[in-house]
Structure 1
Amino acid sequence: MSPTEMTLHWAVEKWLAPTPATPAHVVRVRRAGRHRRCVCIEAARASGLLSIFFFRHDDGSWNVYPPAQARPAMSVWRTV
């Protein structure tokens, strides 16, 4: 599956499998930076309330793990 097909709707369906009897609700939306988004979605289960955070990655896909942070990098330039 390509990253562009991994929408938030697809991720919620995969992880929470909401039904009309047990719908999923957006509880919190956070934006950190230009493209960094985090959404908390809750669904009621027989065992209790289930909350999952979904993170938007730079390629537009939504995953349950946060995107990798940009790290400092060093390089060497040779001048002749």
Structure 2
Amino acid sequence: MSPTGKNLHWAVDKWLAPTPAMPARVVRFCRSQMHRRCVCVEAVRPNGMLSIFFFRHDDGSWNVFPPAQARPAMVAWRNA
């Protein structure tokens, strides 16, 4: 479980609110070359099918937005 408590089950419940009559299911699992994980979960809604991608962040939480990419940084050290 992630330190923030935002596991995949929590995220699916928040965004899709599945019920026994309208369950949600994982339809796609992806892992990129950068070891980023994402899953596509879909659920039947009264007005049609709803699909949402969830992305796993470095802290273990799952969100509907992808994690920020690490960018090059320059560091200056001052010797005194």
Q: TM-score range by the shorter chain?
A: 0.7 to 0.9
**2:21 maps to which residue?**
21
Q: Secondary structure at the match of 1:10?
A: helix
- Measured in 2, the distance between the counterparts of 1:77 and 1:47 equals 59
Matched residues, number: 77
Whole-angstrom distance in 1 between the partners of 2:77 and 2:66: 33
Structure 1's unaligned 5+ residue stretches are none
Q: What residue number does 1:59 align with?
A: 59
Equivalence map 1:1-80=2 (5 Å): 2-3=3-4, 5-32=5-32, 33-34=34-35, 36-78=36-78
TM-score (norm 1): 0.88
Runs (4+) of structure 1 exceeding 3 A deviation are: 77-80
Identity of counterpart residues, as a percentage?
A: 70
- What is the alpha-carbon distance in structure 2 between the residues aligned to residue 12 and residue 78 of structure 1? 48
